[in-house]
Structure 1
Amino acid sequence: MAYEHILFDEADGIATITINRPQALNALHIGVIAEMIDAVDRVRDEGTARVLVLTGAGRAFCSGADLAGGGAGGGARRSGPPDAGAVLESHFNPLLERLFALPVPFITSVNGPAAGAGCSYALAGDIVIAAKSAYFLQAFVNIGLVPDVGSTWLLPRLAGRARAQAMMMLGERIPAETALDWGMVYKVVDDAELAAATRAVAEKLAKGPTRSYALIRQGIRECLDKPLSEGLMVERRNQLQAGRTADFVEGVSAFLQKRPAQFTGK
């Protein structure tokens, strides 16, 4: 697929998707989402990237659905009452599920405002690094809708029910440093340092035990909704798989030989 609305780059094991509609603050419509799905599928299927970074071009990460361009209902061309959820089912949610199911770590580099669906995608990262100028906004109530693209599942788990509910019902901007205090992001850096900070984390992950990372990210999400006994079973199952990787053999050998491990992601 030729990309019109995103940029895709892969080098040194790091794949980067940049939402490239700066004139619209990287607002999302069906065309953007379709290209992002294609790029995420490339990362999943080609197997050459060992980490994925998602960011935005210009001064915004993503301003959410493009209301002017049909982003909130562009997938709903049907008779009868309007269905604002149809485009979620056809495009927005499949992208989120693909990001969660990736076999490699996923970093979001939040370079500016992340609103609506853009807030969801920003906070879906395994590691979220935000510029100081960034903010997070659940603006759905301002147009009479409800939070979507996983927001009502994800935000209470990150910030707690009280904060998440107030954020959604009041429609207030949450500055990056407040998001850090609330546990929504991993790190906040000066705007000028964001690219370098993101690159440093991405390079470390790209050289690490990729299959272990996949099991970690999947295990955390499974265990969030399970009692302790079932969580222990998830860990047992995942440890079995991790212990059969070439990276485990290399990691133990490197430890015993007192040298840095050279992981291959296998």
Structure 2
Amino acid sequence: MNQVGTDQAGPVLLERRGAVAEVTLNRPDQHNALDVALKERLVDVLADLADDVSVRAVVLTGAGRSFCVGQDLGEHAHLLHSDPATAFGTVGAHYSPIVSALATMPKPVIAAVNGTCVGAGLGFALACDLRVFAEGGKLGTAFSGIGLTADSGLSATLVQAVGRARAAELLLLGPMFSTEDAVAWGVAGRIVSPDEVLGTARELADRLAAGPTLAYAESKALLAEAAAGADLESVLAAEGAAQARLGLTADHQGAVRSFLAKERPSFTGE
């Protein structure tokens, strides 16, 4: 597989920083609203990053003052008028693959939530493994306000993050809430000043990119299985199989030798 290169133009920017790939939603004048061009490019970029073993951590952020305000409603209105039967094909073609790619990426993904984060944008952020939020940032579901229900996995990830009762309030009533509220309610993430969001996310990504990538991938899969409701017997069996696979990796064997030699381990992701 060829390594994913840098892309500094278009609706999705891609920058490589060593083993870290930085993906930026790039429609700042529209607060990174999701049109077809952006969604199609994001599907492709994330698929390539998932397959590229030279990438060991990913940062997802937005250009300008917003992370992502969800669907471009102007484009959606046009599709409703011109071809209403296919207007929601984007859910299966774009939103679901994007969220699945973020959640199942065999390496850590960090959302640098630099500003407003609404609708599918919130779904993207919650599909990532870690989040860095801008202080005072605004979040919301927004779907009920336009007569829709959730997409982008929010009906699952919101429940996992804040519990069913709070998730029902956020989805049915659709209030905007602050990043401080989100963290207080259980949405895991760090809150920093807006000008520190990307730098903090990069520091986390650099730390993770130097870690045991294959172990991170196994941990993500185990957490997903448990969140999906696997029983204890299934979880124990999955953990045992994952441990056995990792026991054959160079990272594990080298780390054990380093521990016995009282040295700091160095991980290669292999």
Report TM bin, short chain. Answer: over 0.9
Q: Percent identity?
A: 34
For 1:18-97, what aligned pairs fall within 5 Å after superposition? 18-70=24-76, 74=79, 82-97=85-100
Give the distance between the partners of 2:100 and 2:174, measured in 1 at CA.
25
List per-residue Cα deviations over 1:175-234 (Å, max 9, x = no partner). Answer: 111111112132111112212211111111000000000000111010121121211111
Question: How many angstroms does 1:133 deviate by?
Answer: 2.7
Matching residue of 2:237: 233
Matching residue of 1:199: 202
Matching residue of 2:186: 183
181-190 or 27-36, which deviates more: 181-190
List per-residue Cα deviations over 1:153-176 (Å, max 9, x = no partner). Answer: 111011100111101111111211
Matching residue of 2:159: 156
Give the distance between the partners of 1:130 and 1:179, measured in 2 at CA.
10
- In structure 2, relative to structure 1, the CA distance for the partners of 1:246 and 1:77 (3 Å cut) is farther
Q: Is the 8 A contact 1:75 1:86 kept in 2?
A: no
Which structure carries more helix by proportion? 2
Question: How many angstroms does 1:69 deviate by?
Answer: 2.1
Q: Is the 8 A contact 1:116 1:138 kept in 2?
A: yes
For 1:104-123, what aligned pairs fall within 5 Å after superposition? 104-123=107-126
Q: Is the 8 A contact 2:95 2:151 kept in 1?
A: no
Aligned residues: 263
Q: Is the 8 A contact 2:11 2:25 kept in 1?
A: yes
Give the distance between the partners of 1:201 and 1:29, measured in 2 at CA.
30
Q: Which amino acid aligns with 2:41?
A: E
Q: Could you say what secondary structure the match of 2:243 adopts?
A: helix
Q: Is the 8 A contact 2:136 2:180 kept in 1?
A: no
User: How well do the aligned residues superpose, as a CA RMSD in angstroms?
Assistant: 1.9
